[in-house]
Structure 1
Amino acid sequence: MRYLTAGESHGPQQTTIIEGLPANMELLQEDINTELARRQGGYGRGRRMQIEKDKVQIVSGVRHGRTTGAPVTLVVENDDFKHWRKIMGSEPLTPEEEEEVKRKITRPRPGHADLNGALKYGHRDMRNVLERSSARETTARVCAGAVAKKVLKTFGIEVGGQVLEIGGIKAENTNYESINDLKERTEASPVRCLDKDAESKMIQAIDDAKKEGDSIGGVVQTVISGVPVGLGSHVHYDRKLDAKIAGSVMSINAFKGVEVGIGFEAARRPGSKVHDEITWDKENGYQRKTNNLGGFEGGMTTGMPIIIQGVMKPIPTLYKPLESVDIDSKEAFKASIERSDSCAVPAASVVMENVIAFEVASALLDMFGSDRVDAIKRNLQEHYEWSRDF
Structure 2
Amino acid sequence: MRYLTAGESHGPQLTTIIEGVPAGLTLTADDINIELARRQKGYGRGRRMQIEKDRVQILGGVRHGKTLGSPIALVVENKDWKHWTKIMGVEPLEEGADDEIKRKISRPRPGHADLNGAIKYGHQDMRNVLERSSARETTVRVAAGAVAKKLLKELGIEIASQVVEIGGVKASPKPYSSIKELQEKTEQSPVRCFDEEVEQQMMDAIDEAKKNGDSIGGIVEVIVEGMPPGVGSYVHYDRKLDAKIAGAIVSINAFKGVEFGLGFDMARKPGSAVHDEIAWSKEKGYYRLTNRLGGFEGGMTTGMPIVVRGVMKPIPTLYKPLKSVDIHTKEPFEASIERSDSCAVPSAAVVAEAVVAWELANALVEQFYGDRMDTLKKTIAEHRAFAKEF
- The separation in 2 between residues aligned to 1:310 and 1:98, in whole angstroms, is 42
- Report what 2:102 is aligned to: 102
Alpha-carbon distance between aligned partners in 2 of 1:257 and 1:33, rounded to the nearest angstrom: 29
Out of 330-339 and 61-70, give the one that drifted further. 330-339
Q: What are the superposed Cα offsets for residues 28-50 of structure 1, whole Å, 9 maximum, x if unpaired? A: 10111011001000000000001
Alignment of 1:130-279 (within 5 A): 130-279=130-279
Please say if 1:370 is aligned against 2:367. no
Looking at structure 2, the residues matched to 365 and 321 of structure 1 have their Cα atoms a distance apart, in angstroms, of 46
Tell me whether 1:317 sits opposite 2:343 in the alignment. no
Q: Tell me how many residue pairs correspond in the alignment.
A: 390
**1:85 aligned partner, one-letter code:** T
Match of 1:89 in 2: 89
Shift of 1:104: 2.1
Which amino acid is 2:106 matched to? T
Q: CA deviation at 1:386?
A: 1.2
Q: Secondary structure at the match of 1:125?
A: coil
Conservation of the 8 A alpha-carbon contact between 2:317 and 2:338: no
Aligned to 1:358: 358
Secondary structure of the residue aligned to 1:95 is: coil
Tell me, in whole angstroms, the C-alpha distance in 2 between the residues paired with 1:50 and 1:267. 44
Indicate the residue corresponding to 1:46 in structure 2.
46
The 2-side partners of 1:143 and 1:89 are apart by 25
**The residue matched to 2:87 in structure 1 has which SS?**
helix
2-structure distance, mates of 1:268, 1:181? 32
**For the structure 1 residues 284 and 101, does the alpha-carbon distance in structure 2 shift closer, same or farther, using more than 3 Å as the test?**
same
Match of 1:128 in 2: 128
Instruction: Tell me the SS of whatever aligns to 1:86.
Output: coil
Normalization by structure 1: what TM-score? Answer: 0.99
What TM-score comes out, normalization by structure 2 length? 0.99
- Give the match's secondary structure for 2:34: helix
Residues 174-205 of structure 1: CA distance to partner in whole angstroms, max 9, x if unpaired?
32111101000000100000111211100000
Gaps of 5+ in 2: none
Deviation at 1:380, TM superposition (A): 1.1
| Matching residue's letter, 1:136 | R
- Asked whether the 8 Å contact 1:164–1:174 carries over to 2, the reply is no
Deviations 1:69-92 (A, max 9, x none): 000010001111111111111101
In structure 2, the partner of 1:341 is 341
**Matched-pair contact (CA < 8 Å) for 1:320–1:336:** no
Extract unaligned runs of 5+ from structure 1.
none
Q: Which amino acid aligns with 1:200?
A: Q
Query: 1:378 is paired with a residue of what secondary structure?
Result: helix
Q: State the superposition RMSD in angstroms.
A: 0.9
Query: Aligned partner of 2:377: which letter?
Result: K
1:303 aligns with 2:295: no
Q: In structure 1, how many angstroms separate the alpha carbons of the residues matched to 2:174 and 2:56?
A: 33
Q: Counterpart amino acid of 2:286?
A: Y
Deviation at 1:97, TM superposition (A): 4.0
Conserved? CA contact 2:167–2:216, under 8 Å? yes
Percent pairwise identity: 69
Measured in 2, the distance between the counterparts of 1:181 and 1:262 equals 22
Partners of 1:26 and 1:174 in 2: CA distance: 35
Q: 2: CA distance between counterparts of 1:289 and 1:232?
A: 22
Structure 2 distance, partners of 1:157, 1:338, is 39
Distance (whole Å) between structure 1 residues aligned to residue 309 and residue 102 of structure 2 = 43
Q: CA deviation at 1:281?
A: 1.1
Q: Which letter maps to 2:130? A: L
What one-letter code is carried by the residue in structure 1 that aligns with 2:299? G
Aligned to 1:73: 73
Kindly provide the amino acid, as one letter, of the partner of residue 226 in structure 1.
G
One-letter identity of the residue aligned with 2:281? D
Question: Do the aligned partners of 1:229 and 1:302 also contact (CA within 8 Å) in 2?
Answer: yes
Distance in 1 separating the partners of 2:321 and 2:375 = 57
